[in-house]
Structure 1
Amino acid sequence: MPVDAFLFDKDGTLFDFAATWNGWAARVLETLAKGDRAVLEAMAEVISYDLERQAFNPDSLVIAGSNDEVAEVLAPFVADMGVEELLVFLALSAAEAELAPAVPLAAFLDSLLARGKVLGVMTNDAENSARSQLERAGVLDRFAFVAGCDSGHGAKPAPDPLLAFCKAAGVAPGRTAMVGDSRHDLEAGAAAGMLRIGVLTGLALRDELTPHADIVLPDIGHIPAWMDR
């Protein structure tokens, strides 16, 4: 199927999930726990984060969930913040996370733009965090559309934010590829009628993604070669 546009997930797709977020999460949980080990352990449990390994487990809500969902499960353990305050804290903290691009992003994105493709980002993170991270990576200007779970289009796995990209970019869903590292990404792509490309730079294994994807690639850097085939 010809592809005119690519809509990318952010974490685990444009940026390697574990390298970017495992250490960040340890610091955030420590900050929120304020030295209370019981609170630290309780928060780690509800988001399925292994404190010893300092790593998310593959079933963690954080991998594909929205910021709203993460804030709601953490809020009962954070006495001095409500859900809205916690949302702001998480968004501001995430905007400053150390980024680990899955591939050299500028060169990769420029190669797609040179082929005439329209590019977008849809993440279940906050839009402000996404824009900040893409700007820090030096690639924000490559995208015609950047949306988060708080942008007014909803969150994945619903198809609405994906269809919002198509409308904004003037591309047909049937000629658009959703690229992501989780079932939420691929299920949203299926619901929107898009081609689905899974990548292995998140925590999901190939066997988990294959039933939901048209193709599974090691990382986004393999997309140009896949198109040439």
Structure 2
Amino acid sequence: MSLRADAVLFDKDGTLFEFGATWNAWGRDALRDLSGGDGDALLALAAASRFDLEREVFLPDSPIIAGTNREAAECLAGALPHLVADEVERYLMLAAAEAPLVEAAPLVALMARLDGLGLPLGVMTNDAEFAARAHLRAAGIEQAFRFIAGFDSGHGAKPDPAPLLAFARAVGMVPERIVMVGDSPHDLTAGRAAGMQTVAVLTGPIAAEVLAPHADVILPHIGHLPDWLGAA
């Protein structure tokens, strides 16, 4: 069987897990916690993070969506004078590890199928590695990945291609035979800069027309990936 690629690197949030179903409720609760019950503080945090309190959703231009955990902490700490970025970062890391996960597709079965095709798999997220591993473990798929990296794993963060190239080195594959799968321009521009194939999925908050210029193909969700790879 001839496949389009020899390895697959996934983003996490909005890709392996549906962004809205996983992170909107978490975001609401996190902002309320950080506000300490002060209504004005909550409004300031929501404005800084571009969170719609009425609809309880992160807006598509939220810096939280594709930013690193550190960038999110600095964004929120900058909204209120008493917040300290280091403390907010630790809070976000620990709180994120407990987020209610909604799979974008049945992950155990999908990873087993991709493994059965002989494809080395990896995850590169701008979340913290601690939270990433907690999420993958909770979903029963941590062992499916040869490479798991967060923004704090020493390889850098997207849209820098460096962490993607670290995956290529880890699995011994040339970048052009690797697929980067993600739901944001950060994921896809990093993939293009690394010389990888790029697959966009629509399980994040970013519209297809925004993703299209950066993607070789747009899929509804990662469950369609085997067919696109040519495994049907």
TM-score when normalising by structure 2: 0.96
- Matched letter for residue 20 of structure 2: A
Name the SS for the 1:198 alignment partner: strand
1:132 corresponds to 2:143: no
Aligned to 1:164: 166
Name the SS for the 2:179 alignment partner: strand
Aligned to 2:14: 12
- Matched letter for residue 110 of structure 2: F
Aligned to 1:182: 184
Unaligned runs of 5+ in 1: none
- Matched letter for residue 62 of structure 1: I
Matches within 5 A, 1:77-226: 77-78=79-80, 81-226=83-228
Alpha-carbon displacement from aligned partner over 1:10-52 (angstroms, at most 9, x marks no partner): 0000000000000000000000001111110011011110001
Report the alpha carbon displacement of residue 80 of structure 1 after superposing the two structures with TM.
5.3
Report the alpha carbon displacement of residue 175 of structure 1 after superposing the two structures with TM.
0.5
- Matched letter for residue 41 of structure 1: L
> In the aligned structure 2, how far is the partner of 1:190 from the partner of 1:63?
20
Q: Contact between 1:10 and 1:130, CA under 8 Å: does it hold in 2?
A: yes
Report the alpha carbon displacement of residue 109 of structure 1 after superposing the two structures with TM.
0.7
> In the aligned structure 1, how far is the partner of 2:132 from the partner of 2:63?
18
Aligned to 2:56: 54
Alpha-carbon displacement from aligned partner over 1:138-170 (angstroms, at most 9, x marks no partner): 000000000001111111000000001111111
- Matched letter for residue 126 of structure 1: A
Name the SS for the 2:78 alignment partner: helix
> In the aligned structure 2, how far is the partner of 1:227 from the partner of 1:70?
34
Alpha-carbon displacement from aligned partner over 1:53-74 (angstroms, at most 9, x marks no partner): 0001111111111111111111
> In the aligned structure 2, how far is the partner of 1:76 from the partner of 1:48?
13
> In the aligned structure 2, how far is the partner of 1:85 from the partner of 1:148?
19
Unaligned runs of 5+ in 2: none
> In the aligned structure 2, how far is the partner of 1:78 from the partner of 1:110?
46
Report the alpha carbon displacement of residue 76 of structure 1 after superposing the two structures with TM.
3.0
Q: Contact between 2:44 and 2:80, CA under 8 Å: does it hold in 1?
A: no
> In the aligned structure 1, how far is the partner of 2:83 from the partner of 2:51?
21
Report the alpha carbon displacement of residue 214 of structure 1 after superposing the two structures with TM.
0.4
Number of aligned residue pairs:
229
Computed over aligned residues only, the root mean square deviation of the Cα atoms, in angstroms, reads: 1.2
Alpha-carbon displacement from aligned partner over 1:160-204 (angstroms, at most 9, x marks no partner): 000011111111111100000000000000000000000000011
Q: Contact between 1:32 and 1:78, CA under 8 Å: does it hold in 2?
A: no
> In the aligned structure 1, how far is the partner of 2:214 from the partner of 2:46?
29
> In the aligned structure 1, how far is the partner of 2:175 from the partner of 2:145?
17
Report the alpha carbon displacement of residue 205 of structure 1 after superposing the two structures with TM.
1.2
- Matched letter for residue 63 of structure 1: I
Report the alpha carbon displacement of residue 124 of structure 1 after superposing the two structures with TM.
0.3
Name the SS for the 1:99 alignment partner: coil
Between 1:179-188 and 1:161-170, the stretch displaced more is 161-170
- Matched letter for residue 144 of structure 1: R
Alpha-carbon displacement from aligned partner over 1:126-148 (angstroms, at most 9, x marks no partner): 00000000000100000000000
Name the SS for the 2:114 alignment partner: helix
- Percentage of matched positions with identical amino acids: 53
Name the SS for the 1:38 alignment partner: helix
